[in-house]
Amino acid sequence: MQQVLFNIPFLKGWWIFPPDGIPIYGFGAMLFVTFILCTMWATRRGKAMAGLPGEKVQDMVIWLFVSGIIGARVLYMIQYANQFPDKSIGALVGAFFQIWKGGIIFYGSALGGVIGYALFYKFVLRKFNVSGWQLADAMAPVLALGLAIGRIGCYLNGCCWGQVAVEEVSPVPLGSAHFPLLPAHCRDDMVRGYGLQSSTGFTIAPRDRGAVASDPRTVVQYVEKDSPAEKAGLKPGDRIVGVNGKPNLVIVEVYGSEEKAGRVIAELKKLGGQERPFTENQSRIEFGSRVGFEKIADYMQAMEIVGHTSEGVTLIGSDELSELVRDWPRGQHDLALTVLRDDKEIALAPFAPRTVSLYPTQLYETVSMILLILLLLSYYQFRRHDGQLMVLCMMGYSIHRFIDESLRIEPTIGLGLTLSQWGSVVIFAAAVGIELYLRRVMASRWAAPPRPSPATA
């Protein structure tokens, strides 16, 4: 998993750009590679096998690519509607373009691609004397190539993960994978949903959330055995005083009416605190904000003063580590901690908390699609009729996806099947229907040519 492949050192920290420059995301890079390679191959195959001019093939690829991405994203937003609580038009449109948050679903792209092809045929393709079924056979391996490369992007992004893998498959190549946990999409399921591990490889001692006059910085309670945190030297009882080379700020969360909370926030700022507004990913019910203190002594003094004037306002003590883990920066893997142990500050080596073993279902699809490409290319000369390569592609993918989906953590919608498994059933049935139709309307290449009659011999 490598959500950010590298950063271009340009416009660092300016406007909306991060301090490291413009990030190049693995998922987007694979989409770009997919588009370039598939366009090049489709152009050659479309011209050679269907007689469609190269520039028109390229136009078709753009239509299919754009309509496919739209369909894939829309279907994802429908299936995982709970991830988009704000149903306003503006919020949904904005979420649509944030494709890195969650991802896309292939069967949505298939539906979008069909719509895109229908529009392209109506406005462009029917003007040319081109067989649609010959064109479909030309594009079948190209489609499989796009899936093979695209799933590498899913792997880099950490989405579309599989279930927890059994221990016995770990030595087998591609038997299991461990993703950097903090930026992984599966963290909510692994940590909060199933309680299989902690976000950081260690648990923390419970805080007395109401005791704002005590030191709220994280204290390590238990370190997972053989975890990266243990190998970095973290021990139970350590108090976290530094995170990624910066002080582990003491954070005071302030909740209340706008008037009362605002007055307390202003007082805390006068006493050395720095306001840190909530991010868009951190929901809150009432007016509130956060104030950070770099020095624990300043925090203690501020709490002693403000505690007498905070009636009607709720104050909750936290720290920078808790806030950072809750809203972890995308693409960042390592966590470097400085701990206070026996009254001494100790800088630990950076470590990357990793997930438990998961089936790398993304790469299973890449392998399956490579094998499907080889099958399609080999079978082309043996096809019974035009269109059969696309039928074979539809059947092969639907069978793979149905099986691969059983290794993933997805909600079921009926008869114990997921949405994608139902999609696989529909695609397979459609492929069977197309094959039966083509057998009726097209002559078989397998049949022996008719023998000439004696009169014409």
Model confidence over 162-205: pLDDT tens digits?
A: 999 988 888 899 999 999 999 998 998 889 888 889 999 999 99
CB atoms within 10 A of CB 186: 21
Residue 304 has a pLDDT of 83
Residue 381 has a pLDDT of 93
Mean pLDDT calculated for residue range 308-328: 83
Is the pLDDT at 90 greater than 70? The verdict is: yes
Q: Which of 450, 178, 457 is nearest to 333 (CA)?
A: 178
Mean pLDDT calculated for residue range 141-148: 96
Task: Note the pLDDT tens digit of each residue in 243-263.
Answer: 999 999 998 888 888 888 888
Is residue 445 very low, low, confident or very high in pLDDT (cuts 50, 70, 90)?
confident
Q: In this structure, what token pair is assigned to residue 364? A: 């299973």
Which of 57-61, 131-135, 391-395, 418-422 has the largest mean confidence? 391-395
Is the pLDDT at 127 greater than 80? The verdict is: yes
Helix locations, 80-176, DSSP H: 89-97, 106-123, 132-157
Encoded amino acid at 387, one letter: G
Mean pLDDT calculated for residue range 274-285: 61
Beta strand 337-341 pairing with 344-347 = antiparallel
Q: What is d(CA 368, CA 390) in angstroms, rounded to the nearest whole number?
A: 16
Q: What letter does residue 351 receive in the DSSP assignment? A: B
Mean pLDDT calculated for residue range 6-22: 71
Residue 283 has a pLDDT of 47
Contacts of 150 (CB under 8 A, 6+ apart): 30, 31, 34
Q: What is d(CA 432, CA 406) in angstroms, rounded to the nearest whole number?
A: 23
Higher pLDDT, 396 or 443: 396
In terms of C-beta density within 10 A (0-12 exposed, 13-18 middle, 19 or more buried), how is residue 111 classed?
buried
Element holding 266 (H helix, E strand): helix 258-270
Task: Note the pLDDT tens digit of each residue in 58-85.
Answer: 999 999 989 988 998 888 888 778 778 7
The residue extents of the domains of the chain are 4-163+359-441, 198-347
Contacts of 24 (CB under 8 A, 6+ apart): 4, 5, 6, 7, 8
Task: Note the pLDDT tens digit of each residue in 411-433.
Answer: 888 899 998 899 999 999 999 99
Residue 339 has a pLDDT of 96
Q: What is d(CA 181, CA 178) in angstroms, rounded to the nearest whole number?
A: 8
442 half-sphere exposure, CB direction, 13 A CA radius: 18
Mean pLDDT calculated for residue range 310-332: 85
CB atoms within 10 A of CB 181: 26
